């Protein structure tokens, strides 16, 4: 009631005061670029400069005040994202606590340019309204404009550095924190104590939690610090409910002073009924083999090694395994020392590739974003480049062109995989790593979930350990030359075998190309046209440049025409590969749903609603690029026995589509100590019982995994 009256008072004061009197805050619209290309994202900033003693408000103003609003008036082809709010200050006056900005603040908004926006000048306009307060509150409003030129090149503006500095003031990702929320006691009327707990690698001071604004409840501003000077921070907050059920999650910013610096971490916390606990897995007698309980670093490293070892038999890596077998046959007559050297070079290719992946994860986390296993497959440009590379490898295996030293970029990119020398061994290690990332394996998901919450050095150690597991069988074979005698003797059959191996590699290219439908819709078929140009260029290169003796100049000219035309027409003009379509997450999720039952799109609210109604809930975290999801998990969920059990229980089935690696799903996977998909959760009828976390499939058999699902559903339905 106090907060409601305060907000009403502030609104009345603002409404009774003409906007022209708002002279204590100056508003400016800034852009990160003076010119930009179609398809770019330009960062906009609304800069509010306040007189000394005056303040404006955060997105949750607290007990009084009101947030700044931005209403965009944008030309066709330009869309605005949500406001990105920097970390505010907490201000308490006369028993009222608010979250405010003093002196100056820049509110950031990403502006997305459509791929077909027309070249020329644009005027971007925003109507900005705010409430500025000192001893009195005044409502302010300004119509702001900024010019933007649509051109063939992007050029940074004079304010770009200022906006970059503003980005550094945004709350960071909470990836490095292990945090939990729990109700301490039963509710007393409409109030209930919420306990927040998180870990920090160094002692902290002045810890706090700034909550988001909700309609059905409020997390009150008063904070009781239970412990704050150690590496574990515990707070108590009072939650007041206005309507509906008690919340099952709360979002906001964890605040702390550490090392003399004030830090904020954006987080969404699931609330459990176990004080000091963390949302985890209920134990299943036969299916929760590697979930739940405290985990040591050495145990997780062992899981990482075993997971890397198992990756060798996952369908993603099978084409490369065939090439390695061919390589071992070719090495059977070579000196043992050279065979060992090539085995180590292959391992080096794997290790370097995994270190690059580790650097990618560390960089994404440092930039304040969520990181997940296989996240590079949410980048359509990466998929196109990889599809082109794998297509070239397949064409080389078919003999369309050969590898020669100094043979050029196309030769190097397409043919390294079929060579038996040092370059081929190293490239095979790289290719095996890249193709392994759409797959996960038993033990691997748990190990990665643990690793992604650790410091950078530990992340790198885990990725190297996974790489060691992936490379181990080949290193062992190369150091045991006597074992190679069981392989067939080298002969003419090897050429036929190499050509045969081109077909699974070509199948991999087709599968990779199919992933682009998620990002480009009907335009995706133009990638096939582009690959035809690449194939024709590879044939011209092999037939007339490498093996031809006459008219090489004309062949090189034709090669250039094919490559340039292929890029400019199907890839750039028709596919518009740098401008993927804006996805419809809900529609995309249902496209990837298993057959035979009514599946709905996952959301925390959908889970909470179903659990409040006492229903069993099953959630399938999946992705179009995840082979394990589509080969094993999805068919298992569509088995007749599983569908009948879901129908019998009246279960709510939800699909969480991770194809584009949305940050909210990365955070949800992290809650259950996973860094990627697949993941299947089964929530029991009792709303206070944590979900059953099913392990990764132990084989490719969907029938076997359906038994695991049925066991979990039976347990949850009791």
pLDDT digits (tens, 9 = 90+) for 350-379: 888 888 888 887 876 665 555 666 667 778
User: Residue 345's closest CA among 363, 331, 332, 357?
Assistant: 331
Element (H, E) at 679: strand 679-683
pLDDT at 531: 94
Q: How far is C-alpha 296 from the geometric centre of its chain's CA atoms?
A: 26
271-330: pLDDT as tens digits: 887 544 443 333 333 333 333 444 567 888 888 888 888 777 766 666 666 666 666 555
pLDDT at 16: 34
pLDDT at 529 over 80: yes
Q: Give mean pLDDT, residues 50-56.
A: 93
Omega of the bond leading into 678 within 30 degrees of 0 (cis): yes
pLDDT at 21 over 60: no
pLDDT at 620 over 70: yes
Q: Which of 547-575 are b and which e, b meaning 16 or more Cβ less than 10 Å from the residue's Cβ?
A: eeeeeeeebeebbeebbeebeeebbeebb
Encoded tokens for 534 = 């690449």
| Phi, psi for residue 677 in degrees, rounded to 5 | -100, 160
pLDDT at 403: 54
Which of 290-297's residues contact partners 24+ apart within 8 Å by CB, and which partners? 290/442, 290/443, 290/446, 290/695, 291/446, 291/672, 291/673, 291/693, 291/695, 292/693, 295/446, 295/450, 297/458
Percent of the chain scored above 90 by pLDDT? 28
d(CA 204, CA 233): 8
Q: pLDDT band for position 563 (50/70/90)?
A: very high
- C-alpha to C-alpha distances, 429 to 38, 282, 345, 351, nearest whole angstrom: 37, 39, 8, 8
pLDDT at 338 over 80: no
d(CA 669, CA 661): 11
d(CA 376, CA 438): 9
657-683: pLDDT as tens digits: 888 878 778 778 877 878 778 899 999
CB 675 within 8 A of CB 640: no
Strand partners, 122: 148
Percent of the chain scored above 70 by pLDDT? 78
Q: pLDDT band for position 100 (50/70/90)?
A: very high
pLDDT at 376: 72
Q: Which of 404-424 are b and which e, b meaning 16 or more Cβ less than 10 Å from the residue's Cβ?
A: eeebeebbbebbbbbbbebbb
- Crossing angle of the two packed helices 444-451 and 456-478, in degrees rounded to 10: 150
3-state secondary structure (DSSP) of residue 403: coil
pLDDT at 588 over 90: no
Q: Which residue has the higher pLDDT, 589 or 717?
A: 717
pLDDT at 9: 43
pLDDT at 428: 74
d(CA 655, CA 660): 14
Residues, the chain, total?
Answer: 718
- Average pLDDT across the chain, whole number: 80
The domains found in the chain, sorted by start residue, are: 2-168 (2.60.40.1250), 173-272 (2.60.40), 297-383+399-501 (no CATH), 585-716 (3.40.30.10)
d(CA 470, CA 343): 12
pTM for the whole thing?
0.50
């Amino acid at each position: 009631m106090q907060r409601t009256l305060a907000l009403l008072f502030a609104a009345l004061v603002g409404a009774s005061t003409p906007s022209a009197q708002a002279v204590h805050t100056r508003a400016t619209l800034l852009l990160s670029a003076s010119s930009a290309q179609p398809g770019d994202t330009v960062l906009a900033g609304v800069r509010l400069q306040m007189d000394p003693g005056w303040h404006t408000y955060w997105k949750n103003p607290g007990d009084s005040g009101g947030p700044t609003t931005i209403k965009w008036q944008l030309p066709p082809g330009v869309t605005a994202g949500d406001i990105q709010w920097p970390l505010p200050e907490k201000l308490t006056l006369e028993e009222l606590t608010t979250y405010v900005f003093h002196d100056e603040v820049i509110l950031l908004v990403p502006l997305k340019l459509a791929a077909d926006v027309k070249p020329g000048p644009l005027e971007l306009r925003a109507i900005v309204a705010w409430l500025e307060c000192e001893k009195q509150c005044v409502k302010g409003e300004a119509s702001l404009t900024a010019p933007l030129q649509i051109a063939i090149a992007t050029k940074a503006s004079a304010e770009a550095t200022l906006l970059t500095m503003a980005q550094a003031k945004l709350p960071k990702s909470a990836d490095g924190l292990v945090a939990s929320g729990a109700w301490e006691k039963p509710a007393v009327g409409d109030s209930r104590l919420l306990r927040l707990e998180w870990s920090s690698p160094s002692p902290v001071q002045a810890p706090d939690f700034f909550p988001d604004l909700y309609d059905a409840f409020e997390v009150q501003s008063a904070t009781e610090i239970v412990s704050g000077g150690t590496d574990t921070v515990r707070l108590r907050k009072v939650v007041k409910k206005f309507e509906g059920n008690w919340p099952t999650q709360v979002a906001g910013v964890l605040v702390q002073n550490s090392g003399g610096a004030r830090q904020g971490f954006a987080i969404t916390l699931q609330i459990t009924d176990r004080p000091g606990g963390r949302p985890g897995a209920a134990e299943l007698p036969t299916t929760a083999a590697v979930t739940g309980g405290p985990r040591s670093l050495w145990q997780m490293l062992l899981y990482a090694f075993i997971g890397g070892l198992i990756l060798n038999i996952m369908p993603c890596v099978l084409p490369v395994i065939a090439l390695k077998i061919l390589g071992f046959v070719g090495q059977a007559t070579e000196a043992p020392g050279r065979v060992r050297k090539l085995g180590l070079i292959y391992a080096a290719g794997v290790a370097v590739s995994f270190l690059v992946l580790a650097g990618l994860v560390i960089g994404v986390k440092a930039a304040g974003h969520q990181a997940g296993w296989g996240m590079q497959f949410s980048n359509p440009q990466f998929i196109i480049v990889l599809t082109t590379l794998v297509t070239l490898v397949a064409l080389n295996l078919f003999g369309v062109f050969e590898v020669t030293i100094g043979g050029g970029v196309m030769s190097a990119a397409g043919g390294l995989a079929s060579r038996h020398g040092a370059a081929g061994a190293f490239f095979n290690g790289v290719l095996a790593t890249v193709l392994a990332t759409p797959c996960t394996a038993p033990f691997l998901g748990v190990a990665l979930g643990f690793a992604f919450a650790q410091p950078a050095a530990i992340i790198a150690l885990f990725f190297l350990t996974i790489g060691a597991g992936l490379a181990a069988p080949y290193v062992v074979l190369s150091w045991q030359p006597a074992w190679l005698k069981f392989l067939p003797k080298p002969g003419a059959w090897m050429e036929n075998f190499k050509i045969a191996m081109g077909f699974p590699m070509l199948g991999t290219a087709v599968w990779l190309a199919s992933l682009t439908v998620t990002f480009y819709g009907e335009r995706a078929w133009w990638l096939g046209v582009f690959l035809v140009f690449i194939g024709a260029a590879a044939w011209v290169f092999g037939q007339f440049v490498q093996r031809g003796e006459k008219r090489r100049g004309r062949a090189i000219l034709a090669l250039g025409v094919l490559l340039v035309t292929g890029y400019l027409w199907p890839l750039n003009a028709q596919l518009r590969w740098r401008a993927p379509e804006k996805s419809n997450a809900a529609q995309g999720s249902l496209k990837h749903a298993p057959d035979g039952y009514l599946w709905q799109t996952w959301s925390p609210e959908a889970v909470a609603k179903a659990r409040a109604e006492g229903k069993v809930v099953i959630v399938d975290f999946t992705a179009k690029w995840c082979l394990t999801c589509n080969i094993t998990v999805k068919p298992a969920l569509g088995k007749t026995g599983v569908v009948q059990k879901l129908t019998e229980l009246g279960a709510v089935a939800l699909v969480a589509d991770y194809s584009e690696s949305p940050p909210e799903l990365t955070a949800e996977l992290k809650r259950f100590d996973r860094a990627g998909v697949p993941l299947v959760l089964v929530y029991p009828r009792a709303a206070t019982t944590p979900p059953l976390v099913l392990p990764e499939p132990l084989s490719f058999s969907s029938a076997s995994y359906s038994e695991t699902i049925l066991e979990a559903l039976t347990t949850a339905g009791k």
